[in-house]
Amino acid sequence: MTERSVVHSTFVIERVYPVAPEKVYFALSDKEAKKRWFADPANPRPDSYRMDFRIGGQEVNTGGPKDGPLHTYTATYLDIVPNERIVYSYDMLFGDIRISVSLATMELRPEGAGTRLVLTEQGAFLDGHDTSSTREHGTNILLDMLGRALSAS
């Protein structure tokens, strides 16, 4: 029998991007734009990606290592203020094992000619399958990928 546990954690990550909030929002809210930086092109297993960007809509991204379980990210959008705020909940599964459930808020604030993105995540990490520090590290990588996509556009 698996020992059950929950570890709660909150982290905040900030980035300043040299583009207007409207461009950052587009990269977060448009399916094709988000797929360019959010889905892993180097993943040996083909990703499946769908996005219904509206309050109550879902985003699902699946993929994973060739020799391991499928990783599934399923988000539900709870609040959307165009060019200012996106609030969503999501869970992560490795195979059919739920490893975490989170509430995330992305705030977009004008800063000079650019945008300050403030991401706050409150997570429940389940049964020792994942940790807050691992999630924060992965989220930093994603926000770096977003920055590269914004620079290329």
Per DSSP, the residues of 73-130 read EEEEEEEEETTTEEEEEEEEEETTEEEEEEEEEEEEEEETTEEEEEEEEEEEEETTS-
Asked if 135 and 125 touch (Cβ cutoff 8 Å), the reply is yes
Confidence at residue 83, expressed as pLDDT on a 0 to 100 scale: 98
Asked if 31 and 53 touch (Cβ cutoff 8 Å), the reply is yes
pTM given for the model: 0.91
CATH class of 6-152: alpha beta
Structure tokens at 66: 């060739």
Structure tokens at 49: 């990606």
At how many degrees (to 10) do helices 21-29 and 31-38 cross?
80
pLDDT per residue as tens, the chain (153 positions): 568 999 999 999 999 999 999 999 999 999 999 988 887 666 656 668 899 999 999 999 988 877 888 889 999 999 999 999 999 999 999 999 999 999 999 999 999 999 999 999 999 999 988 888 999 999 999 999 999 999 987
Q: Where are the domains of the chain?
A: 6-152
**Between vectors from CA 38 to CA 61 and to CA 106, what angle results, nearest 5°?**
100
Q: pLDDT tens digits for 1-13?
A: 568 999 999 999 9
- Using DSSP's 3-state secondary structure scheme, residue 27 falls into helix
User: Which residues contact residue 67 at a Cβ distance below 8 angstroms, ignoring those fewer than 6 apart?
Assistant: none
Return the H-helix or E-strand segment holding 62: strand 58-63
> β-strands 48-51, 6-17: how paired?
unpaired
Confidence at residue 45, expressed as pLDDT on a 0 to 100 scale: 63
